[in-house]
């Protein structure tokens, strides 16, 4: 008798597809592995952008994680609802987002909210609104260490901005934020070298600020690829996110890390459009589509299938001559990129020991929860 694979469900009769399936025992193990990989749990500030759920947040709180990072106001709201004590909005708020952030600060006094800034004009506006609201907003300067999307180059201009922020009413400058998600070399030795080189100016900035009489700045750095590197730095807060669910990209690229895939997309064969092709119910709306077609998903129980076409609700794959697939067959897909895949589903089906146990709602995929 063939041993059952870890991902196979015992009863598929009630599972509609496509479905996001969360293997909660693996989620717990990934969280445990995260905690075990660092010397002090207080240095962990995991990003919630991957899972976007109350349940995964609660599992992290239960193991002593108290600091979190997020990218949207809705994610910040969700974290506060869970009782997270410390929430960094890793985004520079502008316009309505400023109002919403200030509303959260007033609504959840037991949660310390902070955010990023990278220019004095935004800081002045945030200061003005914070004073009007009667609150103080902790802020981190966002550094551009190579991602080239937000932040400022870690040079003397940061020292100038730090000093200006320190003088603004309604703001309290906390430290520096350095995200290096572009450093993904599969050779950990090369990744360490690249990460250390990019981080050196950040360390020099920290020392320069201390020499000028500022309180030692907090540094929040990295994501999942650089987590094991920053985890070895004694005074850096680490903010991986994908670790909680993992995916094919990081499984294959970051072989040195202990995390394991914990979420799959389950699909069914819905048509046989030709002698060598089969069609699945896994379209653009069901698995992240930013990667090349052939890299979007790998089927664990059918790795030979090759995607040749995809539309909103359909995925056509090449199965080859003489294949044995039939309409109704179930396929277990490991997404290439799990973060945007999760955001496509309003809920994930939870599984333990092959049995469906319930669901986790992807609540903060919404842009607005209460504020």
Q: What is the pLDDT of residues 178-218, one digit of tens each?
A: 999 999 999 999 999 999 999 999 999 999 999 999 999 99
Cβ neighbour number for residue 5 with a 10 Å cutoff: 10
Distance (Å, whole) CA 88 – CA 338: 22
Residue 110: predicted pLDDT: 98
Q: What is the pLDDT of residues 158-167, one digit of tens each?
A: 999 999 999 9
Q: Residues 47, 179: one domain?
A: yes
Residue 2: predicted pLDDT: 58
Q: Residues 166, 295: one domain?
A: no
Q: Residues 301, 177: one domain?
A: no
In a domain, 198, yes or no: yes
Q: DSSP code of 247?
A: -
In a domain, 361, yes or no: yes
Using alpha carbons only, give the angle 128, 129, 131 rounded to the nearest 5 degrees. 70
* DSSP β-bridge partners for residue 86: 67, 112
In a domain, 19, yes or no: no
> Pick from 206, 222, 245: which residue ends a domain?
245
In a domain, 3, yes or no: no
pLDDT of 350 over the 60 cut: yes
Q: Residues 266, 221: one domain?
A: no
pLDDT of 129 over the 80 cut: yes
Per cent of the chain over pLDDT 70 is: 99
The CATH number of whichever domain residue 309 belongs to comes to 2.40.37.20
Work out the pLDDT band at 371, boundaries 50, 70, 90.
Answer: confident
| Total of domains in the chain | 2
Q: What is the pLDDT of residues 324-346, one digit of tens each?
A: 999 999 999 999 999 999 999 99
Task: Work out the mean pLDDT of the chain and round it to a whole number.
Answer: 97
In a domain, 30, yes or no: yes
* Residue scoring higher pLDDT (16 or 1): 16
Q: Residues 231, 138: one domain?
A: yes
Q: What is the pLDDT of residues 16-52, one digit of tens each?
A: 999 999 999 999 999 999 999 999 999 999 999 999 9
Per DSSP, the residues of 132-195 read HHT--EEEEEEE-SS--SSSB-SSHHHHHHHHHHHHSTTEEEEEEEE--TT---SSHHHHHHHH
Residue 293: predicted pLDDT: 96
End-to-end CA distance of the chain: 55
Residue 4: predicted pLDDT: 81
In a domain, 253, yes or no: no
Residue ranges making up the domain that contains 237: 24-245
Q: Residues 228, 275: one domain?
A: no
Q: Residues 208, 342: one domain?
A: no
> Pick from 192, 213, 245: which residue ends a domain?
245
12 and 6 in contact (C-beta within 8 Å)? no
Q: Residues 141, 268: one domain?
A: no
The CATH number of whichever domain residue 210 belongs to comes to 3.20.20.10
The pTM of this model reads 0.96
Q: Give start and end residues of each alpha helix (H) in the chain.
A: 24-36, 54-62, 73-81, 96-107, 120-133, 156-167, 188-211, 227-230, 248-253, 338-342
pLDDT of 140 over the 60 cut: yes
Of the candidates 57, 59, 26, 18, the one whose C-alpha atom is nearest the C-alpha of residue 353 is: 26
Distance (Å, whole) CA 29 – CA 80: 24
In a domain, 254, yes or no: no
> Pick from 198, 219, 245: which residue ends a domain?
245
Work out the pLDDT band at 1, boundaries 50, 70, 90.
Answer: very low
Q: Residues 198, 102: one domain?
A: yes
Q: What is the pLDDT of residues 50-91, one digit of tens each?
A: 999 999 999 999 999 999 999 999 999 999 999 999 999 999
Q: Residues 74, 173: one domain?
A: yes
* DSSP β-bridge partners for residue 360: 348
Q: Residues 168, 33: one domain?
A: yes
Q: What is the pLDDT of residues 243-257, one digit of tens each?
A: 999 999 999 999 999
In a domain, 301, yes or no: yes
Q: Residues 346, 198: one domain?
A: no
């Amino acid at each position: 008798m063939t041993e059952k694979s870890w991902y196979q469900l015992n009863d598929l009769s009630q599972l509609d597809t496509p479905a996001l399936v969360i293997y909660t025992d693996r989620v717990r193990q990934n969280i445990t592995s995260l905690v075990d990989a660092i010397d002090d749990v207080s240095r962990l500030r995991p990003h919630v952008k991957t899972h976007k759920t109350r349940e995964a947040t609660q599992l992290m709180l239960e193991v002593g994680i108290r600091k979190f990072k997020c990218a949207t106001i809705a994610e910040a709201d969700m974290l506060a609802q869970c009782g997270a004590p410390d929430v960094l909005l890793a985004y520079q708020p502008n316009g309505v987002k400023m109002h919403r952030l200030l509303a959260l600060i007033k609504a959840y006094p037991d949660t310390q909210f902070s955010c990023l800034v990278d220019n004095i004009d935004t800081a002045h506006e945030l200061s003005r609104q914070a004073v009007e609201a009667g609150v103080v907003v902790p802020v981190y300067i966002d550094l551009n260490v190579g991602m080239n999307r937000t932040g400022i180059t870690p040079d003397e201009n940061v020292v100038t901005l730090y000093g200006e922020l320190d003088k603004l009413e309604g703001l309290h400058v906390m430290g520096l934020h350095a995200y290096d998600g572009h450093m993904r070399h599969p050779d950990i030795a090369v990744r360490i070298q690249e990460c250390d080189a990019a981080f050196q100016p950040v360390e020099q900035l920290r020392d320069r600020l201390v020499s000028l009489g500022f309180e030692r700045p907090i540094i929040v750095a990295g994501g999942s690829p650089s987590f094991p590197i920053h985890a070895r730095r004694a005074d850096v807060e680490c903010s991986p996110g994908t670790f909680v669910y993992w995916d094919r990209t990081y499984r294959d690229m970051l072989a040195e890390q202990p995390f394991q895939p914990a979420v799959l997309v389950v699909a069914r064969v819905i048509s046989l459009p030709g002698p060598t092709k089969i069609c699945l119910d896994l379209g653009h709306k069901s698995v992240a589509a930013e990667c090349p077609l052939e890299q979007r998903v790998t089927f664990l129980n059918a790795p030979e299938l090759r995607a040749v076409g995809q539309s909103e609700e359909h995925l056509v794959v090449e199965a080859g001559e003489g294949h044995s697939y039939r309409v109704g067959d179930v396929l277990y897909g490991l997404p290439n990129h799990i973060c945007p895949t999760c955001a496509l589903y309003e809920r994930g089906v939870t599984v333990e020991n092959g049995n469906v146990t319930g669901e986790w709602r992807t609540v903060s995929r919404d842009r607005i929860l209460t504020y």
